[in-house]
Amino acid sequence: MQKSFYILVISTILLFSCKNDTSKDMTHPYTNDLVHETSPYLLQHAHNPVNWNAWNDKTLEKAKSEKKLILISVGYAACHWCHVMEHESFEDSLVAQVMNKNFINIKVDREERPDVDQIYMSAVQLMTGSGGWPLNVIALPDGRPVWGGTYFKKEQWVDILNQISKLYAENPNKLYDYADKLSQGIKSLDVVNLNTDEPIFETSFINDALKNWEENFDYNHGGTKATQKFMMPNNYHFLMRQAYQNNDKKLQEFVNFTLTKMAYGGVYDHVGGGFSRYSVDEKWHVPHFEKMLYDNAQLVSLYADAYLITKNELYKKVVEETLEYVKNDMTGSNGIFYSSLDADSNNAKGKLEEGAFYVWTKDELKTLLKDDFDLFSGYYNVNDYGLWEHDNYVLIRKDDDASITKKYALTENQLTEKKQQWKKTLLAVRNKRPKPRLDDKTLTSWNALMLKGYIDAYRVLGNKDYLEAAEKNAKFILSTQLRKDGGLNHNYKNGKSTINGYLEDYSATIDAFITLYENTLNETYLKTARDLANYSFDHFFDETSKMFFFTSNSDASLVSRSIEYRDNVIPASNSIMAKNLFKLSHYFDNEHFSKTAMTMLNNVKPEMMEYPTGYSNWFDLMLNYASPYYEVAIVGKDARQKLAELNKHYVPNKLIAASTTENNMPLLESRYNPQETFIYVCVNKACKLPVKDVNKALEFLKE
């Protein structure tokens, strides 16, 4: 790439601050092709003066036929900075003139099209070393990227567009040469080589990786050392299991400290329940206020297991309040779960403002709480510790209830009653405020995560409403998202199921359905999970690496066909799939599933030591190999009761197969006795003598 082009790229890729006014004139006279879309994010841009198009074959063919550069802008409905750039640039008619004259403009909802987002995010990360949303990329007419970045102010944006347009007109070969090199870089990013070394998975490897990980633990605030903090629930789920199985008290204390700090922080909604996406500070105080379904789904599963281990009432309350929030704000009448709530909402002046729905001024709280204000202020830190900006407070806790009752001479019951009344009072007032915009599209993968959250909460707390919500959502997936050809669709909106599913849809659904089977004993879920795994082999499997591509072989090809294997805020689709295959191999005595899971783990093992936080779900799978993993078969008329009793105990290194009748599944065959209910505990195809007593079975599981 020429030096001048390097300068162009480097000088224009930065994140900048912006104006606070993000209001939108909804009387704008313009209309573009996005009016035909169903995505709330795309519809937000349907009246921009920019001639936006959706990502589809027609649009891409138009760019090729007209030989015009493509401008691809990727975001999502709850993205604050996406709204800022829209207001500053995409609603401006002069900016639109530049964009419309020189580019085929495409808007992409990253949640609808994670495949497109992955490709261009990889490009921007290669070019700039970082990424984020909004994601803005300029590509050649064939879709290969040549430039990219995130948020830009209006003047910068126009300047960039003019420079690249001029370069394309005067010296296009420079862009084509750069595109060739960048495309090779993108293709090399997610290449997974087949590891032909013998698969050896030992606890010593995990322990050594943990030493690297622990160096970044934040013992002052919980989580890892960072100025912005994401919850990363899968990380703490693995660490919690690792600590429990190895009786690592120090690690247990750190995980509990982190979970407590997150639940105390402003990142948790103390009034309405549920978690925001991340905090912009190290003490979990001020969130980036959007609420995502996938975060809350995984956090419910995490806090449910944490409660099972500790019986900490704080964790139970987090689970219950989060599911109450999901039920009230993110659930449709047919059991579907919506995607997100926006960070922005209208303030008292009718202007869109980040966090306006959630924050409080001291005067408001004094008026509402009256004589209780001092106690409330002490509990939720309406002081310098809880102050955000513009005299607004984000509620945050520092002290546990025992400290508060002692300080204010209250009984536990008195404090509980106070908290309930505060919540009722504030919630009534808050619900009169303009609510954040809802992204009401339904994604199969995220719904499966939430389904699993509900079933995990049911397993631990025994609330049958949670089981009902889980099964209602499962029915939706089976009846609406599962096609007749055995494949899944990714998206559902306005009564229409669309977009061929991605590996994340299959991985998450299989995982959720296995969990459903283990708690309901309904074999339909388990057999559907197996069938979806077989479909995944037919349409996603890479015979060369023995990993799974993110996109189906029936999808149109992009710049690169990626393999997603690094865990992030959601575990990688390949790590979830490997764990699924591990379990399914036990259920169905399937050697192919077993060998594939082991090979997949072995493939990523060389990278796991260096960056363990990016492989926590893989480490969780490695624990299944490095220490005993149990098959627990419960057979007999009282199987459900014994399962419920067993579920009162945290045993992460097991799978459950159970039946109240004769059953020919490999783990259950020839084990039914009409007079008795027996529990079989097996490991490595060797079984203990069957027992009737759950406590005796638990002894076997702890050996």
With 0-12 / 13-18 / 19 or more C-beta atoms within 10 angstroms meaning exposed / middle / buried, residue 121 is buried
394-445 pLDDT, tens digit per residue, is 999 999 999 999 999 999 999 999 999 999 999 999 999 999 999 999 999 9
Pick the closest to residue 318 from 272, 250, 249 (CA basis): 272
| Residue 28: band (very low, low, confident or very high) from pLDDT cuts 50, 70, 90 | low
If residue 288 lies in a helix (H) or strand (E), which one and from where to where?
A: strand 287-288
The candidate with the shortest Cα–Cα distance to 106, out of 156, 179, 56, is: 56
User: 610-660 pLDDT, tens per residue?
Assistant: 999 999 999 999 999 999 999 999 999 999 999 999 999 999 999 999 999
Cα separation, 319 vs 273, whole angstroms = 9
Fold (topology level) of 203-344+439-626: Glycosyltransferase (1.50.10)
Q: Write the pLDDT tens digit of every residue in 301-348.
A: 999 999 999 999 999 999 999 999 999 999 999 999 999 999 999 998
pLDDT band at 131 (very low <50, low <70, confident <90, very high): confident
User: What pLDDT is attached to residue 137?
Assistant: 96
Query: How high is the pLDDT of residue 186?
Result: 81
Q: In what order do the strands lie in the sheet with 630-635?
A: 654-659, 630-635, 678-683, 686-687
What backbone torsions phi and psi does residue 343 show, to the nearest 5 degrees?
A: -75, -25
Q: Round to whole Å and give the CA distance between 45 and 31.
A: 9
Q: What pLDDT shows up at residue 684?
A: 85
Report the DSSP pairing between strands 103-109 and 52-54.
parallel
Mean pLDDT of 126-151: 92
Of the candidate ranges 15-19, 277-281, 322-326, 607-611, the one whose mean pLDDT is the lowest: 15-19
- Residue 612: is the preceding peptide bond cis (ω within 30°)? no
- Beta strand 654-659 pairing with 630-635: parallel
614: Cβ contacts below 8 Å, ≥ 6 apart? 566, 567, 568, 607
Of 525, 519, 521, 518, the residue nearest 663 (C-alpha):
521
pLDDT at 588 over 90: yes
What are the tens digits of pLDDT across the range 54-65?
A: 999 999 999 999
Least confident of 23-32, 634-643, 679-688: 23-32
Give just the sign of the alpha carbon dihedral 652, 653, 655, 660. Answer: negative
pLDDT exceeds cutoff 60 at 7: no
Rounded mean pLDDT of 544-558? 94
Fold classification of 3-189 (topology level): Glutaredoxin (3.40.30)
Mean pLDDT of 604-613: 95
**How is residue 578 written in tokens?**
């490997």
If one compares 191 and 601, the residue with the highest pLDDT of the two is: 601
Q: Kindly tell me if the per-residue pLDDT of 6 is higher than 70.
A: no
Predicted local distance difference test score (pLDDT) of residue 660 = 96
The DSSP 8-state label assigned to residue 107 in this structure reads E
| Mean of pLDDT values over 666-675 | 94
Q: What is the mean pLDDT of the chain?
A: 93
Comparing 99 with 184, the larger pLDDT belongs to 99
Query: Tokens in use for 653?
Result: 């290194």
CA-to-CA dists, residue 484 to 95, 473, 480, 494, 587, angstroms: 46, 19, 10, 20, 25
Helix pair angle (233-245, 249-264), 10° resolution: 150
Provide the pLDDT confidence category of residue 9 given band limits of 50, 70 and 90: very low
pLDDT at residue 609 greater than cutoff 60? yes
User: Rounded CA gap, 455 and 370, in Å?
Assistant: 41
* 3-class SS of residue 322: helix
Burial class for 415, CB neighbours closer than 10 Å (0-12, 13-18, 19+): middle
Confidence of residue 213 (pLDDT cuts 50, 70, 90): very high
Write the DSSP string, 460-471: HH--HHHHHHHH
Terminal alpha carbon distance of the chain: 61
| pLDDT tens track for 450-501 | 999 999 999 999 999 999 999 999 999 999 999 999 999 999 999 999 999 9
Chain centre to alpha carbon of residue 507: 13
pLDDT of the residue at 11: 34
- HEC profile of 40-72: HHHHHCCCCCCCEEECCHHHHHHHHHHCCEEEE
Distance CA 303, CA 273 (A): 13
| pTM (2 d.p.) | 0.93
User: Span 672-683, mean pLDDT?
Assistant: 95
